[in-house]
A and B are shown apart, each in its own frame.
Chain A
């Protein structure tokens, strides 16, 4: 059984470390890795029949798949379903040798994910087949519901600690999609100050959630015996 665990705390965890590390200003972001060679190598290994590479590839891609599905579907529950279906379909396709250019594995996964999301949009809930799509492969993405509920409450409380102007900046940015220059004009601030306040507010929320939530659960992927 291929089993993938993920939690909101883990999702926040690395960001905290980056956000709260050496750089007190903007979150440090590693250099871009277009056409990640490690990803291509993993995909090639899976195509070649290396079962040990499958969980590695899934773990490498899962965070991005869940992130995109969450944004597109607006629900972490549906996103978890979509992630499940995407990685299962990916492994099935790789085992069947359907990826022609391993260097384009991200685009390949994206195509699968978009299709899964389209189906999910149509059905709102993808109905699981009673039999696994890939023989001997079953993916579970168990996430603690109580913990998730707690984290939602903590997140709301964290947002409550922000100054009103910072909440307005975050709402304008993330809900209304306004540019810093537009927000700055409305609030009578400079665009740079809007960017600074926004980064600081994000870090403050991240830190609050980190302090108030439980330690991260064990993340693990394992192959069925």
Chain B
């Protein structure tokens, strides 16, 4: 084992987490991590950050597409306006040459990547409700949102106080193209005012956008931005992209 891999080297740990070390160095770093709890903690944090960055980079792409689509429309409209400003207008302007009123595509704004549900429990679920929830979330994580919604409906029926079940039930309905049905479970989560309130409001805003109810979406987003929920920055970005009042 080389001296550098036996010591606590933060950059070496970053290279390790990024998978950039050769096999010999990697094994040496790993043996050090087994002996050094401080470096083990650093590796766990860096691995969690890496996973979060991978997910956020992937889920950022639909946003970019939506914003780009709006931007292209806006630029197109701007070109039309500029042309009208610089080119003499015909005596009788045809209706088709009127400036294009650009409205953001509400469906594009409402699009989202359902947050992955990370399962870490390795022992068997203990109660029938836990087992049903686990089964539902397997479907959810596999992208089978309709199936997940059906299973979560049962869990919510059995345990109306199961906050995570109500939340993911709403998200599954929304992801499965049933925004109107998603309103009720998401509202229930908000009314409980637990740990998922911010996320539930953000999802509810998206459900309203899918239903073309911009005013209701705006209300939810403004509530999120006024609070300290971790979803505030996403809500703020979505609020900015909404059509003017």
Interfacial residues, chain A to chain B (CB-CB below 8 A) = 8, 11-12, 14-15, 18, 26-27, 29-30, 32-36, 39, 60-61, 63-68, 70-71, 74, 76-77, 80-81, 84, 106-107, 109-110, 113-114, 140-146, 148-150, 152-161, 167, 170-171, 173-177, 179-180, 202, 205-206, 208, 212, 214
Let me know if B33 and A26 touch, CB within 8 A. Answer: no
Let me know if A145 and B119 touch, CB within 8 A. Answer: yes
Let me know if B34 and A66 touch, CB within 8 A. Answer: no
| Chain A residues whose C-beta falls within 8 Å of the C-beta of B84 in the assembled complex | none
9-residue interface stretch from B40-48, B65-73, B97-105? B40-48
**Residues 42-57 (chain B) with a chain A CB within 8 angstroms:** 42-57
Let me know if B46 and A142 touch, CB within 8 A. Answer: no
Let me know if B44 and A157 touch, CB within 8 A. Answer: no
| Chain B residues whose C-beta falls within 8 Å of the C-beta of A11 in the assembled complex | 41, 44-45, 48
Cα–Cα distance between A39 and B32 once the two chains are bound (Å): 12
Q: Which residue of B lies closest to A39 (CB)?
A: B35
Q: Does B82 count as interface, using CB distance less than 8 angstroms?
A: no
Contact of A145 among B52, B57, B121, B230 (CB under 8 A): B121
Distance of B26 from chain A, by nearest CB (Å): 9
Most A CB within 10 A of own CB, among B1, B39, B48, B120: B120
Let me know if B34 and A61 touch, CB within 8 A. Answer: yes
Distance of B197 from chain A, by nearest CB (Å): 12
Q: Does B38 count as interface, using CB distance less than 8 angstroms?
A: yes
Cα–Cα distance between A206 and B44 once the two chains are bound (Å): 12
Cα–Cα distance between A103 and B1 once the two chains are bound (Å): 15
Let me know if A32 and B199 touch, CB within 8 A. Answer: no
Let me know if B42 and A84 touch, CB within 8 A. Answer: no
Distance of B201 from chain A, by nearest CB (Å): 13
Let me know if B53 and A71 touch, CB within 8 A. Answer: no
Contact of B35 among A35, A146, A154 (CB under 8 A): A35
Contact of B115 among A33, A66, A153, A167 (CB under 8 A): A153
Let me know if A34 and B121 touch, CB within 8 A. Answer: no
**Residues 179-199 (chain B) with a chain A CB within 8 angstroms:** 195-196, 199
Distance of A12 from chain B, by nearest CB (Å): 6
Q: Which 8 A-B pairs have the closest CB atoms?
A: A157-B230, A177-B18, A177-B20, A143-B120, A64-B40, A67-B43, A29-B8, A64-B34
- The tally of residues in B whose CB lies under 8 Å from a CB in A reads 61
Contact of A142 among B32, B123, B234 (CB under 8 A): B123
Contact of B53 among A109, A113, A174 (CB under 8 A): A174
Q: Does B244 count as interface, using CB distance less than 8 angstroms?
A: no
Known contacts A29-B10, A170-B53, A175-B18, A67 near B123 by CB under 8 Å: no
Known contacts A14-B41, A160-B56, A148 near B231 by CB under 8 Å: no
**Residues 1-34 (chain B) with a chain A CB within 8 angstroms:** 1, 6-8, 10-11, 14-20, 27, 30-34
Let me know if B230 and A33 touch, CB within 8 A. Answer: no
Let me know if A155 and B120 touch, CB within 8 A. Answer: no
Distance of A178 from chain B, by nearest CB (Å): 8
Let me know if A159 and B40 touch, CB within 8 A. Answer: no
Cα–Cα distance between A110 and B30 once the two chains are bound (Å): 7
29 A-B pairs whose Cβ atoms sit less than 8 Å apart in the complex: A60-B37, A64-B34, A64-B37, A66-B40, A70-B43, A71-B19, A76-B118, A76-B120, A77-B118, A106-B34, A107-B31, A109-B34, A110-B31, A114-B27, A140-B123, A141-B123, A142-B123, A143-B120, A145-B137, A149-B118, A150-B196, A158-B230, A159-B52, A160-B230, A174-B14, A174-B53, A175-B54, A179-B11, A202-B46
Given contacts A60-B37, A156-B230, 14 further A-B contacts (CB under 8 A): A8-B48, A14-B41, A64-B35, A74-B51, A106-B34, A106-B35, A113-B30, A142-B121, A145-B137, A148-B120, A150-B196, A158-B230, A160-B233, A160-B234
Let me know if A71 and B40 touch, CB within 8 A. Answer: no
| Chain B residues whose C-beta falls within 8 Å of the C-beta of A109 in the assembled complex | 34
Contact of B34 among A110, A154, A177, A208 (CB under 8 A): A110
